[in-house]
Chains A and B, each alone.
Chain A
Amino acid sequence: MSATALDGDQPTTSDTLLSAMDLRKSFGHTTALDRAGITVARGEIVAIMGPSGSGKSTLLHCLAGLVTPDSGTVLFEGQDLADLSDRARSALRRGEFGFIFQFGQLVPELSCVENVALPLRLAGTRRRVAEARAREWLARLEVEQIADKRPGDVSGGQGQRVAVARALVTAPKVVFADEPTGALDSFSGEQVMRLLVDTAKQTGASLVLVTHEARVAAYSDREVVVRDGRTRQRAEVS
């Protein structure tokens, strides 16, 4: 047995989709990120783990272009997000990224199928076509029966499956999920994870999954641990 110092953040394939280097971000006097880095390969599922307040969400937001780091670089398909105009960055988010949050992301006034169709509608797809696609996605997530209900009238687990459908309906290259099962009981959480991981794998989308729960992280291909705003470089025994 030989002990080799390895970078804890090595993608499982070399085909990099998204990477971040040396990210720093402060909010007032609070340092949220302090030289954080991550690499995500095409089709790879990476879990970002760490205790509450360690900077996981801030890292995710920087990767997704929702937050601009104070310094450091985020590259998506080799393109530096900082070089894009706000408008180009929004277009990238709408076209190539999908998002899933813990809760509260569905529009309460719209039915579930309208919620899933919304990203397509915003991209200019005609209503009938968009809603037909949305229904297919709801079926894939095993919630076609609630298509015409409002989000307020479905269970937490069903709502999260709708959110997964909405994130994937545009065939994004990467899905960002921040504690997607954080508000669910173990059983619904497992179902959501299974469906999320299956559909991401089937569509070839990468998944960046923020979670503080190990059972959720166990669905990933690889984990990156954040502590005090820093991604841990792990010394691995091989």
Chain B
Amino acid sequence: MSIGHALLGLLETGPRHGYDLKRVYDERFGQDRPLAYGQVYSTLSRLLRNGLVEESGFEVGGGPERKRYAITDAGVTDVSAWLITPENPQMYLQSALYTKVVLALMSGRDAEEVLDAQRAAHLRSMRELTSRKQGGDLADQLICDHALFHLEADLRWLELTAARLADLARQVTG
């Protein structure tokens, strides 16, 4: 996730101070990972260097946190391009789970136990997300749903693998 672009996008709604940007970012997008102040200021100075934002007024007696930043035309162009550029679909071909299952089978352990333990852990996380979603607003719901669908995909893989364990065992030990 490009923090720079997210901050630019927030600045498109109007000039803001660094601390203000952090607050809005955390509120909207920082669910489990709020921004560090240092990160906000280093990102802003990079955007400034690249001409994507400009300083737009100080407050008297101000250190860096008193500066206000505004997006430039070049910044707006940059956000527009970023928004319509699709994210890379992530292909998790290096799966720790697959590795564990194969190693369990190769060593003659009960691979089903590996799958069961993982299913239980996934479901625990899904329960937490589900109850968080129920207490939350629409933003919480959408963020939690995104995580829930991804965990569900893992679980479907676990079920499929559980159904094919005997075949897989023959392949990896044969």
Residues of A in contact, count (CB < 8 Å)? 19
CA of A235 to CA of B117, assembled, Å: 7
Contact of B162 with A214 in the complex, beta carbons under 8 Å: no
Residues on A with beta carbons closer than 8 Å to the beta carbon of B123:
214, 217-218, 223
- A113 interface residue per 8 A CB criterion: no
Residues on B with beta carbons closer than 8 Å to the beta carbon of A214:
122-123, 126, 151-152, 155-156
Among candidates B116, B127, B156, residue contacting A218 with C-beta atoms closer than 8 Å:
B127
Among candidates B112, B119, B126, residue contacting A215 with C-beta atoms closer than 8 Å:
B126
Residues on B with beta carbons closer than 8 Å to the beta carbon of A227:
162
CA of A227 to CA of B113, assembled, Å: 13
Q: Among residues 196 to 219 in chain A, which have CB atoms less than 8 Å away from a CB atom of chain B?
A: 212-215, 217-219
Encode B88-124 as 1/0 by CB contact (under 8 A) with A.
0000000000000000000000001100110110110
Contact of A218 with B148 in the complex, beta carbons under 8 Å: yes
Among candidates A194, A217, A232, residue contacting B134 with C-beta atoms closer than 8 Å:
A194
CA of A194 to CA of B133, assembled, Å: 10
CA of A220 to CA of B122, assembled, Å: 13
Contact of A234 with B151 in the complex, beta carbons under 8 Å: no
Contact of B163 with A51 in the complex, beta carbons under 8 Å: yes
CA of A111 to CA of B129, assembled, Å: 37
CA of A215 to CA of B154, assembled, Å: 12
Contact of A215 with B116 in the complex, beta carbons under 8 Å: no
Q: How far is the CB of A15 from chain B (nearest CB, A)?
A: 21
Contact of A232 with B116 in the complex, beta carbons under 8 Å: yes
Q: Among residues 223 to 238 in chain A, which have CB atoms less than 8 Å away from a CB atom of chain B?
A: 223, 225, 227, 232, 234-237
Contact of B126 with A237 in the complex, beta carbons under 8 Å: no
Residues of B in contact, count (CB < 8 Å)? 22
Residues on B with beta carbons closer than 8 Å to the beta carbon of A235:
113, 116-117
CA of A215 to CA of B119, assembled, Å: 12
Q: How far is the CB of A236 from chain B (nearest CB, A)?
A: 7
- B78 interface residue per 8 A CB criterion: no
Q: Among residues 1 to 36 in chain A, which have CB atoms less than 8 Å away from a CB atom of chain B?
A: 8
Contact of A218 with B120 in the complex, beta carbons under 8 Å: no
- B130 interface residue per 8 A CB criterion: yes
Q: How far is the CB of B67 from chain A (nearest CB, A)?
A: 44
CA of A217 to CA of B156, assembled, Å: 13
A234 closest partner in B (C-beta): B116
CA of A220 to CA of B126, assembled, Å: 10
Residues on A with beta carbons closer than 8 Å to the beta carbon of B119:
225
Most buried by B among A215, A235, A237: A215
- B159 interface residue per 8 A CB criterion: yes
Interface residues of B (CB under 8 A from A): 112-113, 116-117, 119-120, 122-123, 126-127, 129-130, 134, 148-149, 151-152, 155-156, 159, 162-163
A-B pairs with lowest CB-CB distance, top 3: A218-B126, A218-B130, A214-B155
12 contacts between A and B (CB under 8 A): A214-B122, A214-B152, A214-B155, A215-B149, A218-B127, A218-B130, A219-B130, A227-B162, A232-B116, A235-B113, A235-B116, A236-B120
